[in-house]
Each structure stands twice: as C-alpha cells, then as structure tokens.
Amino acid sequence: MTTDTAKLPESLARIVQRFQRQSDPKRRYELLLWYAKQLAEFPEVDRVPENKVPGCVSQVYINAICDNERVWFRGDSDSQLVKGLVGLLILGLNGLTPNEILQVTPDFIEDTGLNMNLTPSRTNGFYNIFQTIRRKVLEFCT
C-alpha cells in the first residue's frame, strides 16, 4: 500500500521523500541513524513507566507536551536503530496539532522502504511507538 505523501503533514512527507531517494538499504539505515542523532537529550526524570513504550524489545520512552494547541514530543531508546525510528516520528510530528497527528496512519512507513529492511521485532516496535504517540495525544492533548 502506498500513502499519498500529499496527505501527510509537510514535515513527515519530507522525511518520507528523503527515504524514498535512498534505494540502497544501507543508506536507509544511515539516514535512520542520522535521525537518532537529531533527538534532544531525554531527561532522566522522564524515564518513568508512564512514558515507556510497551511491547518493544528495546527500552523506548516517549513524552508529550501540549503547548498552545501544538504537541511536542521527546523520546529515546537504548537501540540506535529504534532511536532512529523514534527520531523519524518525533521530527515528523513535532509542532503539529493533536488533530493533525491523529489523522496520520502508520502505513507511511511502507513508503520509506524501511519496513522491508527492518526485522519483524523492529517493525513491531515502530507500530508500538506510533500507537504510544497517538495514546499520549489522546490522553493529554484532546
């Protein structure tokens, strides 16, 4: 299934397009690791059970703050590839309204080509991270 990037928020569409330009799986991994490095430091105080993403093999934390009808995320993982997935989602969704975020579906990952190169547990981790982001928006921002 192919997502129409025109229907994605601009920031997320740009990320998908960057991955689409990379035909080599190694280059996609390098880009994913670059997104991991773009994340701000995750505060130790936020490493609490409420922020832990369930169902991930890696330790993954996501925090959301609603400010002036916009949502801002922070996240971290002990796995660099998973941290890259966190970075991809955070950089693609930061600063959007709750409604804009809730309209995004996770199938855009197929357009990046990453789903073909990730292990099943990492793909499952991506969906768990995505669902945690949605849950945080619903709980704290709507």
Mean pLDDT of 116-124: 88
Q: Which residues contact 65 (CB under 8 A, 6 or more apart)?
A: 71, 72, 73, 74
Contact 93, 137 (CB under 8 A): no
Two tokens at 124? 């499952």
- Give the model's pLDDT for residue 6: 65
Confidence band for 1, pLDDT divided at 50, 70 and 90: very low
Boundaries of every domain in the chain: 5-140
Confidence band for 126, pLDDT divided at 50, 70 and 90: very high
User: What angle do the packed helices 80-93 and 120-140 form, to 10 degrees?
Assistant: 40
User: What angle do the packed helices 80-93 and 25-37 form, to 10 degrees?
Assistant: 70
pLDDT in tens, 45-104: 999 999 999 998 899 999 999 998 999 999 999 999 999 999 999 999 999 999 999 999
Give the distance from CA 8 to its chain's centroid.
14
Two tokens at 128? 């768990």
pTM of the model: 0.93
Q: Which residues are catalytic?
A: 56
Indicate the CATH number for domain 5-140: 3.90.1010.10
pLDDT in tens, 6-41: 689 999 999 999 999 998 999 999 999 999 999 999
User: Nearest 5°: phi and psi at 115?
Assistant: -60, -25
Please calculate the CA angle 132-129-37 and round it to the nearest 5 degrees.
125
